[in-house]
């Protein structure tokens, strides 16, 4: 049996809290209360609710400030926040939306409207929680995939860290940097469908084995595409083996069809593959890795600027030392 959804009511008026509590408890929700914004944040540190009903005009800390805090913290970002206030002016509504509020109800509260809004947002929150859980399961699967091949252990983590550093160097924002770090972890997830005999073969792959290996971007994409929490990551999973000249796979994308994050993660993936020992080759020194990457960039496979940024970071941090910090 599913536990009842937990709702936190934040309002400095006792009568308002009593009214909302009676409405919500009659629908089977578990209800907690806070008399102001400060108390609300204290409660949130101890127990995360499924939804917050938030008054605006309160002592010590107003509702807009609480909303800003919740929507700027990754731990509480996905908790639905409903502003419940007597402020029915357009600027207040716009401000609430700008802060990330999920809904806006005006006092006096229409009970039927309250029930409908709460029911919808709680359902969405439960669905989001399921997707978050699924993404953690897939992350564990990605780690299992790497452990199937002792030669590539921590490959995904290193690729993600390299990509994050390059992204920062080219001026991408914090969200895109986080996406690239996660993309590195997930990019080879589809190898879970590649047989061990192919994945661990201590020599060059046959054409048939290469075809089996080339299925992994599509398999990883199919596994992760239903997850809303990974919607910005799945293109990296599917397209990290595409090349700018259109000679990559699985879709033969070229030029502007390949986004900057994918261009970054592709170069970082190749860099780490060259720099680490594989069943069919030894780890290459940084100078030889640089020669190959520059040659392939000149051939039109990779973006030369990204190659040079990554190599610059590697040279600055001492090549092998840069790699070892990812373990």
Q: How far is CA 228 from CA 125, 204, 214, 318, in A?
A: 12, 37, 25, 38
Q: How far is CA 245 from CA 5, 163, 253, 301, in A?
A: 52, 21, 8, 6
Q: How far is CA 241 from CA 176, 186, 216, 302, in A?
A: 20, 14, 10, 10
Position of tokens 């993600």?
160
Look at residue 128 in the predicted model and tell me its pLDDT.
67
Q: How far is CA 189 from CA 30, 200, 213, 263, in A?
A: 39, 16, 12, 19
Q: Would the pLDDT of 320 be above 60?
A: no
Same fold yes or no, 6-128 and 148-324: no
| pLDDT (tens digit per residue) in 84-139 | 888 777 888 888 888 888 888 888 888 888 888 888 888 877 766 665 655 566 66
What's the fold here for domain 6-128?
Rossmann fold (3.40.50)
Band of the pLDDT at 168, cuts 50, 70, 90? very high
Band of the pLDDT at 270, cuts 50, 70, 90? very high
Look at residue 3 in the predicted model and tell me its pLDDT.
77
Q: What does the alpha-carbon distance between residue 82 and residue 113 come to, in Å, rounded to a whole number? A: 12
Q: How far is CA 125 from CA 33, 50, 205, 313, in A?
A: 20, 7, 46, 41
Could you say which architecture CATH assigns to the domain 148-324? Answer: Orthogonal Bundle (1.10)
Comparing 21 with 279, the larger pLDDT belongs to 21
Structure tokens at 249: 């796979």
Q: Would the pLDDT of 245 be above 60?
A: yes
Domain boundaries, the chain: 6-128, 148-324
> Are residues 280 and 203 in contact, defined by beta-carbon separation less than 8 angstroms?
yes
| pLDDT (tens digit per residue) in 131-153 | 565 556 666 666 666 655 555 56
């Amino acid at each position: 049996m599913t536990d009842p959804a937990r709702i936190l009511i934040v309002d400095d008026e006792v009568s308002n809290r009593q009214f909302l509590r009676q409405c919500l408890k009659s629908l089977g929700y578990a209800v907690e209360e806070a008399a102001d914004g400060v108390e609300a944040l204290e409660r949130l540190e101890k127990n995360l609710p499924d939804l917050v009903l938030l008054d605006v005009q309160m002592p010590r800390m107003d509702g807009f400030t609480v909303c800003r805090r919740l929507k700027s913290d990754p731990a509480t970002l996905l908790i639905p926040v409903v502003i419940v206030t007597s402020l029915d002016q357009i600027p207040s509504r716009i401000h609430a939306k700008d802060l990330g509020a999920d809904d806006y109800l005006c006092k006096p509260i229409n009970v039927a409207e309250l029930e409908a809004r709460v029911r919808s947002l709680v359902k969405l929150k439960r669905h989001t929680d399921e997707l978050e859980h699924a993404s953690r399961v897939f992350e564990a699967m990605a780690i299992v995939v790497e452990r199937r091949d002792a030669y590539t252990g921590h490959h995904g983590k290193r690729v993600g860290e390299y990509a994050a550093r390059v992204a920062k160097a080219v001026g991408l924002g914090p969200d895109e940097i986080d996406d690239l770090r996660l993309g590195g972890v997930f990019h080879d997830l589809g190898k879970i469908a590649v047989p061990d005999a192919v994945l661990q073969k201590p020599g060059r792959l046959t054409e048939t084995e290469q075809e089996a290996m080339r299925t992994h971007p599509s398999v990883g994409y199919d596994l992760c595409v239903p997850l809303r929490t990974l919607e910005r990551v799945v293109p990296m999973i599917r397209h990290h083996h595409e090349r700018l000249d259109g000679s990559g796979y699985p879709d033969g994308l070229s030029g502007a069809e390949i986004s900057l994050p994918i261009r970054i993660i592709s170069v970082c993936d190749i860099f780490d593959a060259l720099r680490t020992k594989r069943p069919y080759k030894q780890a290459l020194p940084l100078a030889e890795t640089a020669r190959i990457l520059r040659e392939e960039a000149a051939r039109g496979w990779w973006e030369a600027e990204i190659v040079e940024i990554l190599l610059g970071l590697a040279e600055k941090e001492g090549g092998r030392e840069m790699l070892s910090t990812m373990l």
